[in-house]
Structure 1
């Protein structure tokens, strides 16, 4: 039997079972803007410094990662994905700090909504017709809230995404443990033997969209996190939308903490401060299946180490 034709299991399991078994527009201004390489997680490098001739810049945050390159031992197969999209809905997502080439300003939430809909639509177009990828939606405010169960119905997903509005948070931190508790309960990883020849029935991937520059994420209970990250069938990617790093915010500390959510080194992490096209670039790169893509630090193309103006200079 062809690996892509293997049946998928949708069985959910509790934490005790795991412990015993586990090892309204298309943004015309944006579409007309020149495409720029995405600011991405990489080995430590100096922060980009703006020049006098540039209107806006992207600050590349230095990664806390070591140069060790993890090795993927699972088959490079496009098996079904259960993708949990976790969206920050704090008021920081309502700040209109993203400016297109023509000067039109957008909030992070406006851009994320459009990018997410394109991502979901394109992901389904390149999936196996008989075994579609499925998506779930989680909101992140003071804690995580599961709002949409796994579905391949794009109409339902788009309706939920369009209805999202930023809300006022009541804490100076956000408890990421609540996200992992939800994952254990609603997005369990498959309990199958690791094999270099036989693909898993599915993999679980979280795409975390975080938009705060002054609110530290933290975990007060690592049990659920360790259970999820200990599985080779679990992946977490991060899109961090932030202010320009400065002494008045905590962007670098937050970025470091977000990177620590991945303990195996297979995450793809993007940090973006002002250029809207880079948000679309990031979600375009996230279309790649986690079992088939390269480790982010080993991508073959060159990443820009200097800031660019929105005019493409």
Structure 2
């Protein structure tokens, strides 16, 4: 089995997780009677990804941002998975947010790309993983300049996972479903 770091031209990944801290009501999983939040699911996903990536290469690094009304840098890059996950496990959703500025995600990434945050050009990559859970909040996108700068880099990748914490409301113009027809009466028994 060949380690991916031995492949020519492949370097490390610098992975930034953007985790939504929107507070929501816990729900019961169909497979678990305990109450779980989407944030709990996100923490599990992050742990699986971080452990898997670090097994592929110990040089991969992880950083953490939180999503409030905008993205905020939370912890810097580290290849120490346990230290990184300690930061992840301290996260909690304490407030609800009615807006989210998606531009802030790309502004942070643009700054990291400018500051060499992607590592060695052509050898390392900067990967952003956005974990979003606001089923009733559509992210706003004020300025496409930061997105354009990140998207123009061949060393940049973006992944997103949307798991709504509450179902989005039906559009106002959608008609209510028609009631089901009443079942036909059963035939009378023969005398």
Aligned with residue 19 of structure 2, among 87, 107, 126: 87
1:183 Cα deviation from its structure 2 partner:
1.2
Q: Please tell me whether residue 97 in structure 1 is matched to residue 27 in structure 2.
A: yes
Aligned with residue 176 of structure 1, among 82, 88, 102: 102
SS in 2 for 1:218: coil
Aligned partners of 2:168, 2:23: CA distance in 1, in Å?
18
Task: Within 5 Å, give how 1:134-153 maps onto structure 2.
Answer: 134-153=61-80
Contact persistence 1:228–1:234 (CA under 8 A) = yes
Q: TM-score, normalised by structure 1?
A: 0.48
State the match for 1:34 in structure 2. none
The Cα offsets for residues 148-184 of structure 1, whole Å up to 9 and x where unpaired, read as 11111112211111110103245x3211111111112
Task: Within 5 Å, give how 1:245-264 maps onto structure 2.
Answer: 246-247=169-170
Q: TM-score, normalised by structure 2?
A: 0.76
- Point out where structure 1 has 5 or more consecutive residues left out of the alignment: 7-74, 193-199, 250-313
State the match for 2:158 in structure 1. 236
Contact persistence 1:205–1:234 (CA under 8 A) = yes
SS in 2 for 1:217: coil
- Measured on the aligned residues, the alpha-carbon RMSD in Å equals 2.6
Task: Within 5 Å, give how 1:150-299 maps onto structure 2.
Answer: 150-170=77-97, 172-188=98-114, 189=118, 192=121, 200-242=122-164, 243-244=166-167, 246-247=169-170
Contact persistence 2:113–2:150 (CA under 8 A) = no
Contact persistence 1:142–1:169 (CA under 8 A) = no
- Point out where structure 2 has 5 or more consecutive residues left out of the alignment: 173-191
1:111 Cα deviation from its structure 2 partner:
2.1
1:78 Cα deviation from its structure 2 partner:
4.5
